[in-house]
Amino acid sequence: MIEDSNQHLKQFLQLCDTFKYNRVADYAIRLQLFPFSLTDNAFTWLESQTLLSIMTWNELAEKFLQKFFPNSKKSN
């Protein structure tokens, strides 16, 4: 289980920033590598998303945070 989804995304983005390929956008790298950063419930959740329900990195990050860091966990 991912304890801190914001921290997970931050560390994932830091890792992805080390990958640079000619004519490959950062978001494409992120979308391809993100499943490999997940385990257990988070991986199962991502696999359960319907085809074409997530088309961009921003959509993926937003849905991930909604699922694993819902408003009820946010401090006021």
| Total count of domains within the chain | 1
Does the residue 46 lie in any domain? yes
Q: Is residue 39 part of a domain?
A: yes
- Residue 50 inside a domain? The answer is yes
pLDDT, tens digit, for every residue of 27-43?
A: 999 999 999 999 999 99
Question: pTM for the whole thing?
Answer: 0.82
52 falls within a domain:
yes
- The answer to whether residue 63 sits within a structural domain is yes
Domain of 51 in residue numbering reads as 23-67
pLDDT at 72 > cutoff 60: no
pLDDT at 75 over 80: no
Q: From the CB of residue 2, how many other CB atoms can be counted at a distance below 10 Å? A: 20
Please indicate, yes or no, if residue 74 is contained in any of the structural domains.
no
The confidence band for 74, taking pLDDT boundaries of 50, 70 and 90, is low
